[in-house]
Amino acid sequence: MDAQELLEKIVTGYREIMGENLAGIYLHGSLAFGCFTWEKSDIDFIAVAHAPLSREEKRGILKFLLELTPVCPPKGLEMSVVLLKDCRDFHHPAPFELHFSGEWLPAVRSDMEGYLDSPHGGDPDLAAHFTVIRAVGKTLWGLPMDQVFSPVPKADYIDSIRGDVEGAEADILENPVYIALNLCRVLAYLKEGRVLSKRQGGEWGLENLDAGYKNLLEQALSAYGGRGEPVWDPAALAAFAREMLMRIRCQTEDFVFQPMSQRNAERIAGDWHYPGEYAFYDVAADDEDYAELISPEARGTRYFEVLQGGELVGFVCLEENRGAVELGLGLRPDLTGKGMGQAFLAAIENFVRAHNPEAKAISLSVAAFNRRARRVYERAGFASTGSFMQPTNGGMYEFIRMEKPLQGD
């Protein structure tokens, strides 16, 4: 039996069991995305009911799915029955009437009545499933999708997909293909708003992530396509998961600004060391900068530490200058070059607007050699207004002045 025959059998079975209570059946997951493989994928669908299921309906559905399991893909079926009213008036996590998947197969087989009696609340995964249905889903039978599923709020969808990768650093060692590709598709949505399959997520990762991850992602895509299981490097997998979780956190967690503490001033001055030519930005490389940062009197009220998830990620210094606010800023060394700059700058701009509502512009100076930072600033809306030479770090260096208007934009 192929996947299409299986779907037809599912529709026939649900229509017989639920009768007029069935509003529709909707496909999502890899089959909807067009990247289904029999050996690696499950079949995902949502059945929508007009009214709450009777115990007889629930029992009938579970018995039907157990009978169907031997002819299903190795990963089986994953389905939920939900009420039409909960699809149209979405609340996260969405309630459900019945759930079935390979994970729950042993429980259903061993004690179906106990499974039916077990309490359940909402399922946060439904936010992701409904979003995929609206993006690429297929109506197998019943009401048109746009008459069933209202848009899922972006925050709820993000909560759903983030929850799926929270334990990625440990989980990737057990399930490297699923976790690696899933991390990519989560980050792709957060950065670009794209709802992708696991395969598409991996392809996005190849195009947008550091070249050092190319081999790992190519292996994951090859394995996902059924072309053998590679020998994985556990250290490389864990490092990839840590890196991706950090990037995901940077896209979703708010930055918190607070007055610079002495402890964090000393951490920045003494412990933050940038690689290669960017060592130019080490605070200790310039005696005057170092002395100012570690002195509470010299810092005054101009310096703010920036936290994210309770961790120190950067700092900013605000200097008012003829109606503009001049920025001095720094991002923690291990976070540079990770695509975090735009979000960090946007948070600083919002902080300036709140802290200095009369400011007409924000400005900064960047070392001429630092093309990477200049590109980030230009994408954020800064424009060059000139250049100048300045003695620092024991030498004379060229700097580019850049400015972005705040009022009237």
Domain range summary for the chain, segments of one domain joined by +: 3-154, 165-251, 255-405
Nearest to 79 by CA among 42, 132, 52: 42
User: Which residues are CB-neighbours of 123 under 8 A, at least 6 positions away?
Assistant: 80, 93, 94, 95, 96, 99
Q: Which two tokens stand for residue 231?
A: 């020998």
**198-208 vs 214-224: helix crossing angle, rounded to 10:** 160
Percent of the chain surpassing pLDDT 90: 82
Which amino acid is residue 76, in one-letter code?
G
Cβ partners under 8 Å of residue 248, min gap 6: 162, 165, 183, 186, 187, 190
Position 361 scores a pLDDT of 95
Q: Which long-range contacts (CB under 8 A, 24 or more apart) does 171-176 make?
A: 171/241, 172/237, 172/238, 172/240, 172/241, 173/234, 173/237, 173/238, 176/220, 176/223, 176/232, 176/237
Q: Give the residue among 218, 210, 188 at the shortest CA–CA distance from 201.
A: 188
Domain 3-154 belongs to what topology?
Beta Polymerase; domain 2 (3.30.460)
Name the CA radius of gyration of the chain, rounded.
Answer: 27
Say what the pLDDT of residue 166 is: 87
357-405 residue pLDDT tens = 889 999 999 999 999 999 999 988 999 999 999 999 889 999 999 999 9
- For the purposes of burial, counting CB atoms within 10 Å of the CB of 304, is it exposed (0-12), middle (13-18) or buried (19 or more)? buried
> 3-class DSSP state for residue 150?
coil
Average pLDDT over residues 179-184: 97
d(CA 69, CA 200): 28
Give the C-alpha separation, 122 to 159, whole Å: 13
What was the pLDDT predicted at 408? 55
DSSP-derived 3-state class of residue 153: coil
CATH superfamily label, 255-405? Gcn5-related N-acetyltransferase (GNAT) (3.40.630.30)
- Cβ atoms of 145 and 137 closer than 8 Å: yes
- Angle at CA of residue 216, ends 210 and 219, nearest 5°: 140
pLDDT band at residue 231 using 50, 70 and 90 as cut-offs? very high
pLDDT given at position 145: 97
How far apart CA 158 and CA 164 sit, in angstroms, is: 10
pLDDT confidence band for 306 (50 / 70 / 90):
very high
**Cβ pair 306, 312 in contact under 8 A:** yes
Closest by Cα among 300, 302, 305 to 266 = 305
CB count, 10 Å around CB of 23?
A: 21
Which tens digit of pLDDT belongs to each residue from 114-146? 999 988 889 999 999 999 999 999 999 999 999
Q: What is the mean pLDDT of the chain?
A: 93
pLDDT above 70: residue 151: yes
User: In this predicted model, what pLDDT tens digit does every residue of 271-289 receive, in sequence order?
Assistant: 999 999 999 999 999 999 9
Question: Computed from CA positions of residues 268, 271, 277, 278, in that sequence, does the dihedral angle turn out positive or negative?
Answer: negative
Spatial contact of 126 and 132, defined as CB atoms under 8 Å apart: no
